[in-house]
Chain A
């Protein structure tokens, strides 16, 4: 039997959404199969069905030709199906070994650490990974954590591996190590499903590719028989331009000057170790780096949400370090935070409430005590139109808007000059396109570029190097709480950027 997995006619409804509409999917022995699609296309739903997290409304699942019912991840693991989620599900305070054997019945009552430790080491080495099974998970890099997640599955003899956007937390070098290991696994006859929305990855790793759009499979093809623009068209349903036109910037005065900024993270560890950075008006400065190297802390200090230990941030000549968020907002700093649903959106409140979550207290929308809802609604109608927010009404709850519409809502709120009736002096955008589909990403890019040419300074945090190179006027690389290099796109090759992101000594001297 050549087919490891065969899904036939899978249908899954969620309230108001048809997440999977009669989906067929096959995975062959020894192949790496890319599952490509925009956010909300139904890829993760389909894989959650295969992994037993959801039950399909109808449809059949065959594993190695046998009809099966998978009603929990336990069933799935028994059948040899394993999944590595986007967010790692490891226990940081336990060792690698403990994480791997957790929940494993075969281990028995008395654990033979020595034997298991040897087994894990051998298993890891067979994929070219060097790990110490007794190291604690909190000591590991993102790439190593992912290796542990994979080892967990391999140690359970999984033959079908599902990886949900596995490269989103990796440096280019770590990606290469991962891809090599995946190749080796495929060579052993395992089947690998690689969920992604990045086209270049499809060509870097996969044998076949299945494209999903709006819950349906659009096409399944040999990767060698297609190209990027064809896949993009399948994915979005229309042709996509891969470059953005933008005029040369005319920097005029500083939007923000950051000097020797130091700050602690939530665990009390110094996360910013002296950041120096200047963003001019009319300019986009992209900050790239592996997530967790101080980017989050940097944007939070600028927005007034985190105390700085040392250093200064000058906006319009005023030092805003440790000022209240309200004061910083009034100075014209717009902040697009990461994870909108957690940080900047109140999911149970309406669209209009969320649009005015900052502006409600300023003139002309409030006289200091009452809110003038009439004016609010009128302005909201205008913003919905200008920023192309698609919603049944102004009073739709924010949580039922799609990711792209939420980001439009945030852009409308932050950029449209609701406060003080002028465009922002500085826009801090942290991962503003993370999780968005191609269309929405395009909109965000265009909007940011448009505002930078109108006069805003933009600090753009991204973990996607290509994206940062594409839209930034200058790119800064952040590593271990410092800016380790600043250059213009095109000045430095991607290989060197990767080394800088990984913190390799000497890489930052261009």
Chain B
């Protein structure tokens, strides 16, 4: 299919054509993904040079994160909520449900788990050993609801999920603000917008004494769960067909609204569990803006991993490391923390460009004058 004929207008003796590729290989896909990361590094380096920094020095700080055991452990911690949200997204994206709302689903997970903790601390309604399990269920359920609502609207009424999920992020975030500045503020907290600190048995550290280990275990178990759902269950097969072609799914007698709503529920539920790991693992209490955008980073992670649940784990560790590097750069080189977010955005931009580019090929042939 001809798209542009550049040479024509310039009367060059060559014909440059951009043609649509009929097929592209797996190797090409991997190559474009890697190129996106590398090019993003290069462009970010250009930016660092302009603001008067030595890009090599910046890179060495970033690389240093993965070389130091303590910082690596810190990266693991950050990777856990990112990875969980990304695993949720891998289910949603499989059925072409473009969920931008992992961030909001995480906030709902945080609120639900904090709610359980407060119920326990203030009213003592729940036995100690039961608290964490109940938090987990509540986080899953609330995150799931937050995602299945836009999913249901999409399946039933074709409401655009990109808009609804994005907008629901703000609702969740400001709801968290309202609660933490209002009724959930710790009365002994000197007026700071913080919840009561979580008691020990409500923290994920109780499993292995160190959140990073317990969290990684949770992440891996969830990856196994997601893989099993996609590969071996009826629902996974239905998700795949719905993602491939709505027409075909309808033809095959698949109950679209049920599949999309249930798929959305599981996707949001897993993201909600990611929210739980932030408050009960990383921070140990609820505070405003508890997630620095893990839910958005998860979108990049899941695209870089090509929806593969196993790949999501290492890729989220890489992005966890970038968050840690951002903190360090802020402290040492006094670069605004936004620099790392910018780098993430660059990766995303180049992935999108790469996705487009790999579908086309450029051919140059000599023009024959008749």
Asked whether, in the complex, the Cβ of B253 is within 8 Å of the Cβ of A349, the reply is no
Closest Cβ–Cβ distance, residue A438 to chain B (whole Å): 26
Q: Which of these, B23, B234, B240, B255, contacts A353 with CB under 8 Å?
A: B240
Given contacts A342-B247, A347-B244, contact A360 B232 (CB under 8 A): no
Q: Does B5 contact A (CB under 8 A)?
A: yes
Cα A324 to Cα B251 with chains together (Å): 10
Cα A67 to Cα B15 with chains together (Å): 17
Q: Does B368 contact A (CB under 8 A)?
A: yes
Please name all residues of chain B whose beta carbon is closer than 8 Å to the beta carbon of A343 when the two chains form the complex. 247-248, 251
Asked whether, in the complex, the Cβ of B2 is within 8 Å of the Cβ of A53, the reply is yes
Asked whether, in the complex, the Cβ of B248 is within 8 Å of the Cβ of A71, the reply is no
Asked whether, in the complex, the Cβ of B248 is within 8 Å of the Cβ of A358, the reply is no
Closest Cβ–Cβ distance, residue B340 to chain A (whole Å): 35
Measured CB to CB, the residues of A under 8 A from B are 14-15, 52-53, 55, 66-69, 71-72, 303-305, 324-326, 328-329, 335, 337, 342-349, 353, 357-358, 360-361, 366, 368-371, 373
Cα A353 to Cα B237 with chains together (Å): 8
Q: Does B289 contact A (CB under 8 A)?
A: no
Bitwise interface map of B from 245 to 267 toward A, beta carbon under 8 Å scored 1, else 0: 10110111111000000000000
Asked whether, in the complex, the Cβ of A71 is within 8 Å of the Cβ of B5, the reply is yes
A-B contact pairs, 29 of them (CB 8 A): A15-B22, A15-B23, A53-B2, A67-B368, A69-B369, A72-B5, A305-B250, A325-B250, A326-B253, A326-B255, A342-B245, A342-B247, A342-B248, A343-B247, A343-B248, A343-B251, A344-B248, A346-B241, A346-B244, A346-B248, A347-B245, A349-B244, A357-B241, A357-B248, A360-B234, A366-B234, A368-B234, A371-B232, A371-B237
Please name all residues of chain A whose beta carbon is closer than 8 Å to the beta carbon of B22 when the two chains form the complex. 14-15
Asked whether, in the complex, the Cβ of B252 is within 8 Å of the Cβ of A371, the reply is no
Cα A176 to Cα B367 with chains together (Å): 43
Given contacts A71-B2, A371-B232, contact A324 B255 (CB under 8 A): yes
Q: Which residue of B lies closest to A399 (CB)?
A: B23
Q: Does B160 contact A (CB under 8 A)?
A: no
Closest Cβ–Cβ distance, residue B344 to chain A (whole Å): 29
Cα A66 to Cα B370 with chains together (Å): 7
Q: Does B365 contact A (CB under 8 A)?
A: yes
Q: Which of these, B240, B254, B255, contacts A349 with CB under 8 Å?
A: B240
Closest Cβ–Cβ distance, residue B243 to chain A (whole Å): 9
Closest Cβ–Cβ distance, residue B185 to chain A (whole Å): 44
Nearest 10 pairs of A and B residues by beta carbon:
A326-B253, A346-B244, A325-B253, A357-B252, A68-B370, A67-B370, A329-B253, A358-B252, A346-B248, A344-B251
Please name all residues of chain B whose beta carbon is closer than 8 Å to the beta carbon of A370 when the two chains form the complex. 232-234
Cα A335 to Cα B367 with chains together (Å): 51
Asked whether, in the complex, the Cβ of A303 is within 8 Å of the Cβ of B251, the reply is yes
Greatest chain A CB density within 10 A among B233, B252, B370 is at B252
Q: Which residue of A lies closest to B241 (CB)?
A: A346
Asked whether, in the complex, the Cβ of B8 is within 8 Å of the Cβ of A71, the reply is yes
Cα A71 to Cα B1 with chains together (Å): 11
Closest Cβ–Cβ distance, residue A249 to chain B (whole Å): 29
Asked whether, in the complex, the Cβ of A325 is within 8 Å of the Cβ of B251, the reply is yes
Greatest chain B CB density within 10 A among A53, A325, A337, A368 is at A325
Asked whether, in the complex, the Cβ of A72 is within 8 Å of the Cβ of B2, the reply is yes
Q: Does B120 contact A (CB under 8 A)?
A: no
Please name all residues of chain B whose beta carbon is closer than 8 Å to the beta carbon of A347 when the two chains form the complex. 244-245
Greatest chain B CB density within 10 A among A303, A335, A360 is at A360
Q: Does B17 contact A (CB under 8 A)?
A: yes
Asked whether, in the complex, the Cβ of A373 is within 8 Å of the Cβ of B248, the reply is no
Given contacts A69-B367, A71-B8, A325-B250, contact A346 B255 (CB under 8 A): no
Cα A113 to Cα B1 with chains together (Å): 34
Asked whether, in the complex, the Cβ of B368 is within 8 Å of the Cβ of A69, the reply is yes
Q: Which residue of A lies closest to B240 (CB)?
A: A349
Please name all residues of chain A whose beta carbon is closer than 8 Å to the beta carbon of B2 when the two chains form the complex. 52-53, 71-72
Closest Cβ–Cβ distance, residue A468 to chain B (whole Å): 24
